[in-house]
Amino acid sequence: MNPIWILLLLILSAALPLILVFCWFSFKKSPVTFPWFLTALIAGIISLFVAVLLQNFFPYFDRSGQGRALTFFFDVFIRIAFLEELSRLIVLVPLFHAIQRRRKMDVSFYASLGLVAGLGFAMFENAFYGLADANITLLRAFTSAPLHGACGIRVALAVFFFTHSPAKALFLFLFAVLVHGAYNMMIVSPALPSALAILVAFTALFSALPFLRATNRDTREYGSRI
């Protein structure tokens, strides 16, 4: 089969979570209409390329020496998790700033766009992984997609909180990095069952979903549940 068609099929399969979320938004009559959905999706894709660019400055270290545990931690939590969440933040901050000039945004709008951006990131990441091994594409679509969606929500909320609660914003960002790093560690470490990674991803996602319909007042009163 033509490699271009293979790539398109991989992207389509990796896009299943995004399709489900868009249908859900439409059913719930969410204020995230198709133009906003598409904007957040593009932002998520851009953040993937920003992450790749940043990671080029942090090459992998040799894990065969005495410091292999430290280099493994660095790769999983810093080179991958931290830089990918940082890239998400770099893209979402100017996006939200531009949107605020056109319409009033509440916390649920922030969270919804963060979810879509996270899923957009996961869609292309899964497609690229699928080029190396097509058998893992569907598996990653239902594990890394919830993970990136959950982290996308939290990074978007970090942007929302920054002006009136920088400490909470920092906590949200670092929590996203921690969850992301823990997920990656469980995926790549043969000593840990992969089922734990699925549990972490879906727990992180379901705990963040209430913010898709929360008001600003709800979020300030119950922000500790993030």
| Long-range CB contacts for residues 60-64, cutoff 8 Å, separation at least 24 | none
pTM: 0.87
The residue with tokens 């569907």 is 138
- 47: domain range? 3-225
* Domains held by the chain: number: 1
Mean pLDDT of the chain: 84
Residue 226: band (very low, low, confident or very high) from pLDDT cuts 50, 70, 90: very low
| pLDDT above 90 as % of the chain | 53
Give the pLDDT confidence of 98-149 residue by residue, as tens digits: 998 888 888 999 999 999 999 999 988 877 776 666 555 555 656 888 999 9
- Asked if pLDDT for residue 219 goes beyond 70, the answer is no
* The pLDDT of residue 128: 74
- Asked if pLDDT for residue 179 goes beyond 70, the answer is yes
Sequence-ordered alpha helix ranges (H) in the chain: 3-14, 16-27, 34-55, 68-73, 83-100, 107-132, 137-141, 144-161, 166-188, 194-208, 216-222
